[in-house]
Amino acid sequence: MTSKIVIMSLCAALVSGCGSTVKQTFDLSPAYKSAAAVKTPRKRLQILVANPGALKTLDGQDIVIREAGGSVAYLKKAQWSDRLTNIVQMRLLQALEDTGHFAGVGRPGDGLNANYQLITDLRVFSVDVDSQGKFANVEIAARLMDDKTGNVRKSHVFSARKRLEGSGNANYAAALDQAFSVVLQDIVHWTERAL
């Protein structure tokens, strides 16, 4: 009797494993590296890029859809290539490094003698569906904090909205990527000017 239960359990496990679907996986593009940015004189400042804060809805691999009335859903059979907060942190770090503006850019724990920290919060990172259509909506709050004193030097909220054209997972991810690219560039330029 016991051997029959074990065999039935193994069969059930194999069947459920076969039924799982593979999700399309998407990434966010690195910032465009302009020739003008590379020629910017290097400052002796070092900056840390903290992992962004986010509500649980945005702190995972799911691609968020916000519908009219405030309900939240996830794009079916689609995911980010890593936790969204990790991807945003890495893209911010890469973009700041690519400017050539700073002597060092890293994450907390990288061993830098940092002058400032770039602290961000993901407020919105979703495709919003309403009576006007579908829009990729990205909003990130940023603060520049003096790493020695803990004082916030500057803060600003950056946002971008991109109308979604077409349907399908790739179009949803592409619209979010385009909106994020605008916000990413704005944060980098703002940080360069502030420091």
pLDDT at 7: 39
Is residue 43 helix, strand or coil?
coil
Q: Report residue 60 as tokens.
A: 């995972």
pLDDT at 41: 58
Helix H or strand E encompassing 120: strand 116-130
Contacts 24+ apart (CB under 8 A), 157-160: 157/123, 158/183, 158/186, 158/187, 158/190, 159/124, 159/183, 160/186
Residues facing residue 130 across a β-bridge: 133
Question: How far is 143 from 65, CA to CA, in rounded Å?
Answer: 27
Whether residue 178 contacts residue 138, with contact meaning beta carbons closer than 8 Å, is answered with no
Task: pLDDT tens for the chain, 195 residues: list them.
Answer: 444 433 333 334 444 445 567 899 999 998 766 545 555 556 789 999 999 999 999 999 999 999 988 899 999 999 999 999 999 999 999 999 999 999 999 999 999 999 999 999 999 999 999 888 999 999 999 999 999 999 999 999 999 999 998 889 999 999 999 999 999 999 999 999 999
Token pair of 126 as six digits: 């979703």
Amino acid at the residue 123: R
Main-chain phi, psi angles of 103, to 5 degrees: -70, -30
pLDDT the model gives residue 8? 39
Q: Which CATH topology does 26-194 take?
A: Rossmann fold (3.40.50)
How far CA 171 is from CA of 32, 56, 127, 134, 176, in Å, comes to: 20, 24, 11, 11, 9
Q: CA 114 to CA 107: how far, in whole Å?
A: 10
How many helices (H) and strands (E) the chain has is answered by 4, 10
* Reported pTM: 0.86
Taking alpha carbons only, the member of 165, 5, 191, 7 closest to residue 98 is: 191
Q: What is the pLDDT of residue 105?
A: 96
